Each structure stands twice: as C-alpha cells, then as structure tokens.
C-alpha cells in the first residue's frame, strides 16, 4: 500500500525517476524499480520522501490526510496548484 501511494506521487505530480533522484538523492534506477514494483520501499526511501515532500508524510504512511495540519495528498496538492493558477 505504501508503495502504491509513492507511485501515485510520481503519477499525479508527473515526476520522472530522474527528477525524484534530484529531489531525494536516491538513485533513479532504484525509483524505477519501486515504480515497476520490483523493489520494496525501505526506511531510506521514506526518510527521503519526508524531506522532499513533508506535506505528504502522513498520507504516505496512512492514506489519510489532515489538511488543517498541512498533511495533504498529491491529488490535493495538484488541485491547489491548479486553483491558484486559475485565480492568480
């Protein structure tokens, strides 16, 4: 389930493995293995994601959000950005 949520981050935010490597310092080929479901997620990935996307930390672990505490999902982030472009 956690791996599925990480894959969702890639898909919703339209990130490449190369971009994720830039954001996290974890090799792009390892991210490719996560995306291809060939590798399990370990604590190094979770820590790196927490640093790169602190707003998704709770959602990655639980699948739930707490918007009032700044803990959102990638879908919420995408919608917020789209709305700011429309109103900005």
Looking at CATH, the fold of the domain delimited by 2-87 is given as 434 Repressor (Amino-terminal Domain) (1.10.260)
Dist. CA 19–CA 88, nearest whole Å: 26
Tens digits of residue pLDDT in 12-53: 999 999 999 999 999 999 999 999 999 999 999 999 999 999
Average pLDDT, the chain: 95
Tens digits of residue pLDDT in 53-62: 999 999 999 9
Question: Is 0.85 surpassed by the pTM of this model?
Answer: yes
- Where are the domains positioned within the chain? 2-87
Given this model, what pLDDT does residue 82 score? 87
Given this model, what pLDDT does residue 20 score? 97
Helix %, strand %, coil % of the chain (to 5)? 70, 0, 25
């Amino acid at each position: 389930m956690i791996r599925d949520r990480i894959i969702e981050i890639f898909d919703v935010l339209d990130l490449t493995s190369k971009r994720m490597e830039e954001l996290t310092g974890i090799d792009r080929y390892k991210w490719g293995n996560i995306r291809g479901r060939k590798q399990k997620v370990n604590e190094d990935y979770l820590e790196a994601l927490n640093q790169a996307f602190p707003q998704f930390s709770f959602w990655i672990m639980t699948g739930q959000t707490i918007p009032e505490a700044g803990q959102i999902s990638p879908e919420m982030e995408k919608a917020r950005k789209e709305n700011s472009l429309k109103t900005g």
